[in-house]
Amino acid sequence: MRLATFLRGIGQTLITAGVVILLFVAYELYFTGLETAREQHALSDEIEQVWRHGGGYSKPGDPLPKIKIGDGVAVLRIPRFGREWFKVVVEGVSVADLKRGPGHYPGTQLPGQKGNFVVSGHRTTYGAPFNRVDELEQGDAIVVETRTTWYTYRVTTTQVVEPTAIEVTYPVPYRAGEKPVLARITLTSCHPKYSASQRYVVFGQLEETTPKSAGTPTALAPGAA
Protein backbone atom coordinates (compact mmCIF):
# COMPACT_ATOMS: atom_id res chain seq x y z
CA MET A 1 0.00 0.00 0.00
CA ARG A 2 2.78 2.36 0.91
CA LEU A 3 4.55 1.66 -2.40
CA ALA A 4 1.33 2.19 -4.35
CA THR A 5 0.71 5.50 -2.58
CA PHE A 6 4.28 6.57 -3.25
CA LEU A 7 4.06 5.69 -6.93
CA ARG A 8 0.70 7.43 -7.23
CA GLY A 9 2.24 10.57 -5.72
CA ILE A 10 5.15 10.42 -8.13
CA GLY A 11 2.75 10.04 -11.05
CA GLN A 12 0.65 13.00 -9.98
CA THR A 13 3.78 15.11 -9.54
CA LEU A 14 5.01 14.25 -13.03
CA ILE A 15 1.61 15.02 -14.55
CA THR A 16 1.52 18.38 -12.77
CA ALA A 17 5.07 19.16 -13.93
CA GLY A 18 4.12 18.25 -17.50
CA VAL A 19 1.09 20.54 -17.43
CA VAL A 20 3.20 23.40 -16.06
CA ILE A 21 5.79 22.89 -18.79
CA LEU A 22 3.10 22.82 -21.49
CA LEU A 23 1.56 26.02 -20.14
CA PHE A 24 4.97 27.68 -20.09
CA VAL A 25 5.66 26.66 -23.68
CA ALA A 26 2.24 27.94 -24.75
CA TYR A 27 2.95 31.24 -23.04
CA GLU A 28 6.37 31.58 -24.65
CA LEU A 29 5.21 30.69 -28.15
CA TYR A 30 1.74 32.22 -28.25
CA PHE A 31 0.99 34.72 -25.51
CA THR A 32 4.32 36.56 -25.81
CA GLY A 33 3.42 37.02 -29.48
CA LEU A 34 0.19 38.74 -28.50
CA GLU A 35 2.15 41.04 -26.19
CA THR A 36 4.58 41.96 -28.97
CA ALA A 37 1.75 42.48 -31.47
CA ARG A 38 0.24 45.07 -29.12
CA GLU A 39 3.62 46.75 -28.73
CA GLN A 40 4.17 46.81 -32.49
CA HIS A 41 0.74 48.35 -33.06
CA ALA A 42 1.54 51.10 -30.56
CA LEU A 43 5.01 51.65 -32.04
CA SER A 44 3.54 51.92 -35.53
CA ASP A 45 1.14 54.62 -34.39
CA GLU A 46 3.90 56.43 -32.51
CA ILE A 47 6.39 56.49 -35.37
CA GLU A 48 3.73 57.67 -37.82
CA GLN A 49 2.90 60.54 -35.46
CA VAL A 50 6.57 61.46 -35.09
CA TRP A 51 7.11 61.40 -38.84
CA ARG A 52 3.95 63.40 -39.48
CA HIS A 53 5.36 66.19 -37.32
CA GLY A 54 8.76 66.14 -39.04
CA GLY A 55 10.62 64.20 -36.36
CA GLY A 56 12.65 61.02 -36.34
CA TYR A 57 15.54 59.90 -38.51
CA SER A 58 15.27 60.64 -42.21
CA LYS A 59 18.47 60.31 -44.24
CA PRO A 60 22.24 60.75 -44.07
CA GLY A 61 23.28 64.38 -44.00
CA ASP A 62 20.26 65.58 -42.06
CA PRO A 63 20.72 66.61 -38.43
CA LEU A 64 20.53 63.45 -36.35
CA PRO A 65 17.63 63.40 -33.90
CA LYS A 66 18.16 62.27 -30.35
CA ILE A 67 17.13 58.63 -30.41
CA LYS A 68 16.29 57.17 -27.01
CA ILE A 69 16.37 53.51 -26.12
CA GLY A 70 12.95 52.07 -26.93
CA ASP A 71 12.14 54.65 -29.61
CA GLY A 72 11.01 53.53 -33.04
CA VAL A 73 13.89 54.05 -35.50
CA ALA A 74 12.58 52.78 -38.83
CA VAL A 75 10.18 50.30 -40.41
CA LEU A 76 11.56 47.04 -41.81
CA ARG A 77 9.97 45.18 -44.71
CA ILE A 78 11.16 41.88 -46.16
CA PRO A 79 9.19 40.91 -49.28
CA ARG A 80 10.11 37.22 -49.01
CA PHE A 81 8.16 37.10 -45.74
CA GLY A 82 5.00 38.37 -47.44
CA ARG A 83 3.62 41.62 -48.84
CA GLU A 84 1.94 42.50 -45.54
CA TRP A 85 4.99 41.75 -43.37
CA PHE A 86 6.53 44.76 -41.64
CA LYS A 87 8.07 45.50 -38.25
CA VAL A 88 8.96 48.72 -36.44
CA VAL A 89 12.63 48.57 -35.43
CA VAL A 90 13.27 49.91 -31.94
CA GLU A 91 16.45 51.40 -30.57
CA GLY A 92 18.20 48.89 -28.30
CA VAL A 93 18.78 45.16 -28.05
CA SER A 94 18.14 44.47 -24.37
CA VAL A 95 15.67 41.77 -23.33
CA ALA A 96 13.02 44.47 -22.78
CA ASP A 97 13.68 46.08 -26.17
CA LEU A 98 13.47 42.84 -28.16
CA LYS A 99 10.15 42.03 -26.52
CA ARG A 100 8.76 44.99 -28.48
CA GLY A 101 10.23 44.04 -31.86
CA PRO A 102 13.49 43.88 -33.80
CA GLY A 103 16.16 46.06 -32.21
CA HIS A 104 18.83 48.34 -33.68
CA TYR A 105 22.25 47.91 -32.10
CA PRO A 106 23.08 51.32 -30.56
CA GLY A 107 26.31 52.68 -31.97
CA THR A 108 25.95 51.00 -35.35
CA GLN A 109 24.95 53.06 -38.37
CA LEU A 110 21.44 54.20 -39.25
CA PRO A 111 19.66 53.38 -42.52
CA GLY A 112 21.45 54.64 -45.62
CA GLN A 113 24.61 55.65 -43.77
CA LYS A 114 27.96 54.25 -44.83
CA GLY A 115 28.73 51.47 -42.43
CA ASN A 116 26.58 48.75 -40.89
CA PHE A 117 22.93 49.09 -39.84
CA VAL A 118 22.65 46.11 -37.46
CA VAL A 119 19.26 44.73 -36.40
CA SER A 120 18.58 41.80 -34.06
CA GLY A 121 15.30 39.96 -33.51
CA HIS A 122 13.75 36.92 -31.86
CA ARG A 123 13.25 33.76 -33.86
CA THR A 124 10.71 31.85 -31.77
CA THR A 125 9.15 34.09 -29.08
CA TYR A 126 7.77 37.62 -28.76
CA GLY A 127 6.28 37.64 -32.22
CA ALA A 128 9.31 35.83 -33.70
CA PRO A 129 10.02 38.58 -36.25
CA PHE A 130 13.01 36.68 -37.64
CA ASN A 131 11.44 33.22 -37.50
CA ARG A 132 12.10 32.71 -41.23
CA VAL A 133 15.43 34.50 -41.40
CA ASP A 134 17.14 31.33 -42.66
CA GLU A 135 14.94 31.44 -45.79
CA LEU A 136 16.60 34.61 -47.06
CA GLU A 137 18.75 34.08 -50.14
CA GLN A 138 21.36 36.06 -52.01
CA GLY A 139 19.65 38.88 -53.91
CA ASP A 140 16.56 39.05 -51.68
CA ALA A 141 15.39 42.56 -50.84
CA ILE A 142 15.39 44.07 -47.36
CA VAL A 143 13.59 47.41 -47.39
CA VAL A 144 13.95 49.99 -44.62
CA GLU A 145 11.59 52.96 -44.37
CA THR A 146 12.40 56.23 -42.63
CA ARG A 147 10.44 59.48 -42.48
CA THR A 148 11.30 60.56 -46.03
CA THR A 149 13.17 57.71 -47.65
CA TRP A 150 13.07 54.05 -48.70
CA TYR A 151 16.35 52.13 -48.52
CA THR A 152 16.52 48.86 -50.45
CA TYR A 153 19.29 46.49 -49.44
CA ARG A 154 20.05 43.19 -51.14
CA VAL A 155 21.21 40.09 -49.31
CA THR A 156 24.82 39.24 -50.14
CA THR A 157 25.64 36.33 -47.81
CA THR A 158 24.39 34.42 -44.76
CA GLN A 159 26.42 32.81 -42.03
CA VAL A 160 26.16 30.93 -38.71
CA VAL A 161 28.48 32.28 -36.02
CA GLU A 162 29.13 32.00 -32.30
CA PRO A 163 27.19 34.33 -29.96
CA THR A 164 30.47 36.12 -29.15
CA ALA A 165 31.18 37.07 -32.79
CA ILE A 166 30.74 40.84 -32.35
CA GLU A 167 32.89 41.37 -35.44
CA VAL A 168 29.76 40.96 -37.59
CA THR A 169 28.56 44.30 -36.19
CA TYR A 170 31.67 46.28 -37.24
CA PRO A 171 31.12 49.10 -39.79
CA VAL A 172 32.88 46.74 -42.21
CA PRO A 173 32.11 43.26 -40.87
CA TYR A 174 35.20 41.35 -39.68
CA ARG A 175 37.48 44.32 -40.45
CA ALA A 176 38.06 46.24 -37.25
CA GLY A 177 39.10 49.85 -37.81
CA GLU A 178 38.49 49.87 -41.56
CA LYS A 179 36.67 52.94 -42.84
CA PRO A 180 33.40 51.95 -44.55
CA VAL A 181 32.69 53.05 -48.10
CA LEU A 182 29.41 51.14 -48.49
CA ALA A 183 26.09 51.19 -46.67
CA ARG A 184 25.32 47.74 -45.30
CA ILE A 185 22.68 45.96 -43.24
CA THR A 186 23.16 42.99 -40.92
CA LEU A 187 20.31 40.94 -39.42
CA THR A 188 21.07 38.64 -36.49
CA SER A 189 18.98 36.05 -34.68
CA CYS A 190 19.38 32.93 -32.55
CA HIS A 191 20.27 29.65 -34.22
CA PRO A 192 19.02 26.99 -34.39
CA LYS A 193 15.38 27.61 -33.54
CA TYR A 194 14.56 27.17 -29.84
CA SER A 195 18.24 27.58 -28.98
CA ALA A 196 20.69 30.42 -28.35
CA SER A 197 23.84 28.37 -28.90
CA GLN A 198 24.70 30.19 -32.15
CA ARG A 199 23.66 33.19 -34.22
CA TYR A 200 22.25 33.26 -37.75
CA VAL A 201 23.53 36.31 -39.61
CA VAL A 202 22.30 37.86 -42.85
CA PHE A 203 24.51 40.44 -44.56
CA GLY A 204 23.19 42.90 -47.12
CA GLN A 205 24.32 45.91 -49.13
CA LEU A 206 22.43 49.06 -50.10
CA GLU A 207 21.23 48.91 -53.70
CA GLU A 208 18.68 51.69 -54.06
CA THR A 209 17.65 54.86 -52.25
CA THR A 210 14.17 56.15 -53.11
CA PRO A 211 12.49 59.33 -51.82
CA LYS A 212 9.05 58.45 -50.50
CA SER A 213 7.70 61.34 -52.55
CA ALA A 214 8.59 59.28 -55.64
CA GLY A 215 6.34 56.40 -54.58
CA THR A 216 6.90 52.80 -53.61
CA PRO A 217 10.36 51.35 -54.27
CA THR A 218 10.81 48.75 -56.95
CA ALA A 219 11.35 45.92 -54.44
CA LEU A 220 7.87 46.44 -52.96
CA ALA A 221 6.01 46.58 -56.27
CA PRO A 222 3.59 43.70 -57.00
CA GLY A 223 5.46 40.78 -58.51
CA ALA A 224 8.87 42.18 -57.66
CA ALA A 225 11.62 39.74 -56.73
Count of beta carbons in the 10 Å neighbourhood of residue 10: 10
What number is the average pLDDT over the span 137-155?
98
DSSP 214: G
Structural domain contains residue 82: yes
Query: 190 an active-site residue?
Result: yes
Cα gap 158→54, rounded to integer Å: 36
Catalytic residue among 77, 100, 122, 123: 122
Structural domain contains residue 139: yes
Catalytic residue among 77, 184, 191, 199: 199
Tally of helices (H runs) and strands (E runs) in the chain:
3, 8
E strands, 27-176, are 72-77, 87-91, 103-104, 115-120, 141-145, 149-161
Structural domain of residue 120, as residue ranges?
2-220
- pLDDT number for residue 151: 98
- What b/e string do you get for 160-190 counting C-beta neighbours within 10 Å, with b at 16 or more? eeeeebeebbbbbbeeeeeebeebbbbbbbb
- pLDDT number for residue 12: 57
- pLDDT number for residue 224: 75
Distance of CA 46 to CAs 10, 132, 182, Å? 52, 27, 31
Share of the chain above pLDDT 70, in %: 85
Structural domain contains residue 225: no
Catalytic residue among 104, 123, 184, 190: 190
User: Is the predicted pLDDT of residue 218 greater than 80, yes or no?
Assistant: yes
User: Is the predicted pLDDT of residue 67 greater than 90, yes or no?
Assistant: yes
User: Is the predicted pLDDT of residue 183 greater than 70, yes or no?
Assistant: yes
pLDDT band at 161 (very low <50, low <70, confident <90, very high): very high
Structural domain contains residue 83: yes
Confidence (pTM): 0.85
User: Is the predicted pLDDT of residue 29 greater than 90, yes or no?
Assistant: no
pLDDT band at 63 (very low <50, low <70, confident <90, very high): very high
User: Is the predicted pLDDT of residue 3 greater than 70, yes or no?
Assistant: no
Cα gap 31→142, rounded to integer Å: 28
Structural domain contains residue 17: yes
How many structural domains is the chain composed of?
Answer: 1
Half-sphere exposure of 48 (CA within 13 A, CB side): 7
- pLDDT number for residue 33: 74
CATH number at residue 95: 2.40.260.10
Query: 147 an active-site residue?
Result: no
